[in-house]
Structure 1
Amino acid sequence: MEATRPVEIGSNKMFGGYNKRYKHFSPTLGCSMNFTVYFPPSPASPSHKFPVLYWLSGLTCNDENFITKSGAQRTAASEGIALIAPDTSPRGLNVEGEADSWDFGVGAGFYLNAKQEKWKNWQMYDYVVKELPSLLAENFEQLDISKASIFGHSMGGHGALTIYLKNLFKYKSVSAFAPIVNPINCPWGQKAFSNYLGDNKADWEEYDATCLLEKYHDVSATILIDQGSDDKFLKDGQLLPENFQAACKKHNVPVLVRSQPGYDHSYYFIASFVEEHIIHHSQALKL
């Protein structure tokens, strides 16, 4: 069995810091996993530790998409924040049907803990919330895991919001780009949840940000959401930001949903506003 300790498999200097890619064996998922960390330029004081900002990517992505396409490192470097980008699902398990469609299985873990036996390795919620932070704390003394925030895109925006709401004590802030905020009511979510979780709709609601606001609404930091007005998946009814906005209003949860005219669902959209998101998190992390 591979070592659970992370092994560096790539390194590139960027804006004075380094993107470093690691491989490790995940006991939670039962397979080898990759993740990438952007370490800002080293501070003057060797005892200084960087707060961390987790990024959760969307359908079909892995740990590299955000790192190579977003340009987020420029602001992370100036703000002194480490970016953590995990993969989006287990890989290499060769479960029958895992690669049959782009919106389920490999690249589509939905940041939940699957209940169906066939998909028992799909435990991305525990990987992101428990295993990865422990791994980082044990192996990277320059990171301050106690100061953490989380954001993501599409399926990853869904993951960021649900993880934040269920773990308000762990994360200082949350934001999302075009998140799937009400998956029990959209085709992507219904496909994933029925396969991963089974037919019990109460299990589905545990991974639906709009539903979770019924139970977890003691939110102090403003939730920031950007949504492109020309997003194909908005028009197809996959994202449903109005449902989440209504639930926030009902429970007096502070939220800022910004409709960005002309933008689509791509990384061009993310790159255009990622600086504002990182500053949003930086303010919360430095309180």
Structure 2
Amino acid sequence: MDGLELVSSNKIYGGFQKVYSHESSELKCKMNFSIYLPPQAEGGDTKLPVIFYLSGLTCTEQNFISKSGFQRYAAEHGIVVVGPDTSPRGVKIQGDDKSWDFGISAGFYLDASKEPWSSNYRMGSYLNKELYDLIISAFGNVVDPARIGIMGHSMGGHGALISVLRNPGQYKSVSAFAPICNPSTCPWGVKAFTGYLGENKNEWKEWDATELVKKYNGPPLTLFLDQGAADKFYIEKQLQPEILVEACRSVGVPVILNVRDGYDHLYYYISTFIAEHFDFHAKILKA
């Protein structure tokens, strides 16, 4: 199947949580991705909507599938869910493992333009071109290419937002848990952008949701943002959802921001509200 190798398969809520590996031409290494096939996918008679889920710093494709409990809601709605890894694996670049917020597990879903990262750290093109096309071709009997959404958490929330804003019409729905909303102005983003892109801040804007939404000119789109009020990274101004909300409102892009009292940055928070996100996506993707 398109060069895919099955890594694992587990039955859950009537469907199957699978992990595959494949050789990536964009990243020049072997990559894993997860795919949940709900019970409605059995037999391949019905084309189903798809949601891509992007994980955050330090994560692999495993965190979301083992901690969030999303499969229950994907099964209820009949939605296929795909989860890529967060950075290239199997390539060795000097310094790629020195810190938890840059390099391995910290690809930021962008295409690096600065050496030595530019050859392998192309998560933007990997996600939105290579893996996107691979899912449509390899699972074409169950995937409806006209009904694809995207969501993510933290760095992955940033990835979801920039993916939908940079590729108008490719994704019909978007939501994000505790996303990095204005990376050009927060410590995580400044470190990543300087390392991957260099010092040209005009290039940074092309990977910053707050900047991208100001010039969005695609199909109607509502951004659904979710934030825990007790999240230490929110308190430390790493995430800054209010800045993105202000940018959306300045150009008339609909935006929802739910701030959840007492909730932090972890999967306890995500698992509490993941059903609301699937409801949001389902209303759009199944309309």
Question: The TM-score by the shorter chain falls in which range?
Answer: over 0.9
Structure-1 separation of matches of 2:212 and 2:142: 34
2:94 to 76, 84, 96: 96
Structure-2 separation of matches of 1:44 and 1:160: 28
Structure-1 separation of matches of 2:25 and 2:43: 35
User: Is 1:51 paired with 2:49?
Assistant: yes
Structure-2 separation of matches of 1:235 and 1:45: 48
Paired residue for 1:16?
14
Relative to structure 1, is the Cα distance of residues 146 and 262 closer, same or farther in structure 2, using a 3 angstrom cutoff? same
Q: What pairs up with 1:138-149 in 2 under 5 angstroms?
A: 138-140=137-139, 141-149=141-149
* Length, aligned pairs only: 285
1:87 to 85, 88, 92: 85
Q: CA deviation at 1:217?
A: 5.0
Paired residue for 1:161?
161
Helix, strand or coil at the partner of 1:117? coil
Q: CA deviation at 1:168?
A: 2.1
Relative to structure 1, is the Cα distance of residues 219 and 273 closer, same or farther in structure 2, using a 3 angstrom cutoff? farther
Q: CA deviation at 1:138?
A: 1.9
Q: CA deviation at 1:42?
A: 3.3
Paired residue for 1:223?
223
Structure-1 separation of matches of 2:44 and 2:210: 43
Q: What pairs up with 1:130-209 in 2 under 5 angstroms?
A: 130-140=129-139, 141-209=141-209
Identity of aligned residues (%): 50
User: Is 1:70 paired with 2:77?
Assistant: no
Paired residue for 2:277?
277
Structure-1 separation of matches of 2:259 and 2:198: 34
Helix, strand or coil at the partner of 1:38? strand
Paired residue for 1:249?
249
Paired residue for 2:35?
37
Structure-2 separation of matches of 1:137 and 1:258: 32
Aligned 8 A contact 1:55 1:152 in 2: yes
Q: Which amino acid aligns with 2:172?
A: K
Task: Describe the superposition over 1:234-264 as per-residue Cα deviations: whole angstroms up to 9, x where unpaired.
Answer: 1111001111011011011110101100000
Q: CA deviation at 1:32?
A: 0.4
Q: Which amino acid aligns with 1:206?
A: E
Structure-2 separation of matches of 1:178 and 1:168: 22
What TM-score do you get using the length of structure 1 for normalisation? 0.96
Relative to structure 1, is the Cα distance of residues 114 and 42 closer, same or farther in structure 2, using a 3 angstrom cutoff? same
Helix, strand or coil at the partner of 1:118? coil
Q: CA deviation at 1:218?
A: 4.5
Aligned 8 A contact 1:4 1:26 in 2: no
CA RMSD of aligned residues (A): 1.4
Structure-2 separation of matches of 1:145 and 1:57: 22
**Tell me, which stretches of 5 or more residues in structure 1 are unaligned?**
none
Paired residue for 1:110?
108
**Tell me, which stretches of 5 or more residues in structure 2 are unaligned?**
none
Helix, strand or coil at the partner of 1:138? helix
Task: Describe the superposition over 1:201-231 as per-residue Cα deviations: whole angstroms up to 9, x where unpaired.
Answer: 0110000000111211555232111100000
Q: CA deviation at 1:145?
A: 2.7
What TM-score do you get using the length of structure 2 for normalisation? 0.96
User: Is 1:5 paired with 2:3?
Assistant: yes
Paired residue for 1:125?
124
Q: CA deviation at 1:146?
A: 2.7
Q: Which amino acid aligns with 2:63?
A: N
Aligned 8 A contact 1:219 1:253 in 2: no
Helix, strand or coil at the partner of 2:91? coil
Structure-2 separation of matches of 1:153 and 1:47: 32
Helix, strand or coil at the partner of 2:87? coil
